[in-house]
């Protein structure tokens, strides 16, 4: 199991300290705020945002800690944490807008009431984006697929590198970044290639056209080396393919299966395979 580095929540600490100091300032500098009512509005607005932000951060930490503890003995795909983080970002943005209203002397309740019709019009205009955002939240909280999975959605296939409120960002086999709308997940056929094979990895390399080999020859020459690798699944099929044929080069892809989905292990396998390819070239020379 890989160890994740613990980072000091500097942002949270700064927000908490600012919130405490600002809350203390109200009784201690009451006379000053009375003389400067505009600064009092700004202080109230900032205090509203910081109060909500600190509570949201604490709630997020507790929920994630409870979730991780509850699933400590099980393999989880990490979407729940992603969904909580995105939801916390939305709540922070909402309270930031409310804080600005308070700082400007606008009553948020009256503003929302007066903007109801406008809000309905905005909801109609931005319906696609809103439904995409809702679909994105559903995807984030689901366990069907997560970042790092290899999937096929409709005509698009590749590795998920990010999930946003608008799109699922997929890196396809041509190394192109494809933005797939979240709504497509619920209207198109989705195949998760990593659901059963999470230990699959693909090693890519290229050879000069003058030194190219057919896939059968390359597979036969690499097979003795691959069989000695303890990180690979014993007896698993090794698939060698030509990915691209250029003017003076040939790009190859080798699909392998590690004994687990550890990134460190897969990087070690990739390095060993590439070293074996270099040895083949030196031997051929």
Q: Is the pTM of this model over 0.75?
A: no
Q: Does residue 128 belong to any structural domain of this protein?
A: no
The residue from 192, 219, 250 where one domain ends is: 192
The answer on 218 and 268 residing in a single domain is yes
The answer on 245 and 188 residing in a single domain is no
Domain that residue 261 falls in: 200-284
Summarised one tens digit per residue, pLDDT across range 25-45 is 988 888 888 888 888 889 999
Average pLDDT over residues 250-272: 82
Q: Please, which residues have CB within 8 angstroms of residue 230's CB and are 6 or more apart in sequence? A: 259
Find the CATH number of the domain harbouring 248: 3.30.70.100
Average pLDDT over residues 193-210: 75
Give the C-alpha separation, 153 to 23, whole Å. Answer: 50
The answer on 100 and 38 residing in a single domain is yes
The answer on 204 and 184 residing in a single domain is no
The answer on 271 and 225 residing in a single domain is yes
Strands (E), 11-74: none
The answer on 241 and 153 residing in a single domain is no
The answer on 173 and 261 residing in a single domain is no
Give the C-alpha separation, 103 to 42, whole Å. Answer: 4
Q: Does residue 73 belong to any structural domain of this protein?
A: yes
Higher pLDDT, 24 or 279: 24
pLDDT of residue 3: 40
Q: Does residue 126 belong to any structural domain of this protein?
A: no
DSSP code, position 143: S
The answer on 168 and 261 residing in a single domain is no
In this model, does residue 51 exceed pLDDT 90? yes
In this model, does residue 131 exceed pLDDT 90? no
Give the C-alpha separation, 266 to 252, whole Å. Answer: 18
% of the chain beyond a pLDDT of 90: 7
When divided into structural domains, the chain yields a total of: 3
The answer on 265 and 230 residing in a single domain is yes
The answer on 272 and 214 residing in a single domain is yes
Phi-psi region of 236 (alpha: psi -120 to 50; beta: other; left: phi over 0): beta
The residue from 99, 114, 129 where one domain ends is: 114
Q: Do residues 56 and 86 make contact, with C-beta atoms less than 8 angstroms apart?
A: no
Phi-psi region of 208 (alpha: psi -120 to 50; beta: other; left: phi over 0): beta
Q: Does residue 4 belong to any structural domain of this protein?
A: no
The answer on 81 and 31 residing in a single domain is yes
The residue from 153, 169, 192 where one domain ends is: 192
Token pair for 213: 């080999």
Q: Write down the mean pLDDT value for the chain.
A: 80
Q: Does residue 122 belong to any structural domain of this protein?
A: no
Q: Which DSSP helix (H) or strand (E) runs through 12?
A: helix 10-28
Q: How far is CA 27 from the centre of its chain?
A: 44
Q: Does residue 104 belong to any structural domain of this protein?
A: yes
Q: Does residue 120 belong to any structural domain of this protein?
A: no
Find the CATH number of the domain harbouring 170: 2.30.30.60
The answer on 59 and 99 residing in a single domain is yes
Q: Does residue 239 belong to any structural domain of this protein?
A: yes
Q: How confident is the model at residue 164 (pLDDT cuts 50, 70, 90)?
A: confident
């Amino acid at each position: 199991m890989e160890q994740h580095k613990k980072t000091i929540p500097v942002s949270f600490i700064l927000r908490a300290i600012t919130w405490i100091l600002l809350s203390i300032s109200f009784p201690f500098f009451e006379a000053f705020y009375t003389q400067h009512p505009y600064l009092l509005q700004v202080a109230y607005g900032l205090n509203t945002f910081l109060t909500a932000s600190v509570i949201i951060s604490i709630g997020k930490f507790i929920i994630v800690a409870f979730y991780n503890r509850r699933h400590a003995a099980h393999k989880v795909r990490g979407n729940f944490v992603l969904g909580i983080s995105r939801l916390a970002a939305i709540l922070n943005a909402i309270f930031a807008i409310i804080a600005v209203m308070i700082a400007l002397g606008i009553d948020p309740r009256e503003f929302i009431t007066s903007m109801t019709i406008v809000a309905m019009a905005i909801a109609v205009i931005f319906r696609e984006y809103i439904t995409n955002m809702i679909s994105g939240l559903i995807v984030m909280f689901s366990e069907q697929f997560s970042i790092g999975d290899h999937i096929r959605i409709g005509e698009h296939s590749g590795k998920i590198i990010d999930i946003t409120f608008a799109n699922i960002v997929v890196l396809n086999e041509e190394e192109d970044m494809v933005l797939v709308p979240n709504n497509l997940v619920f209207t198109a056929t989705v195949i998760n290639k990593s659901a059963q094979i999470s230990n699959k990895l693909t090693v890519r390399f290229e050879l000069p056209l003058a030194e190219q080999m057919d896939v059968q020859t390359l597979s036969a020459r690499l097979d003795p080396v691959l069989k000695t690798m303890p990180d690979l699944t014993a007896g698993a099929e090794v698939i060698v393919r030509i990915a691209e044929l250029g003017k003076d080069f040939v790009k190859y892809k080798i699909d392998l299966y590690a004994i687990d989905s550890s990134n460190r292990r897969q990087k070690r396998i990739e390095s060993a395979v590439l070293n074996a390819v270099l040895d083949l070239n030196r031997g051929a020379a």
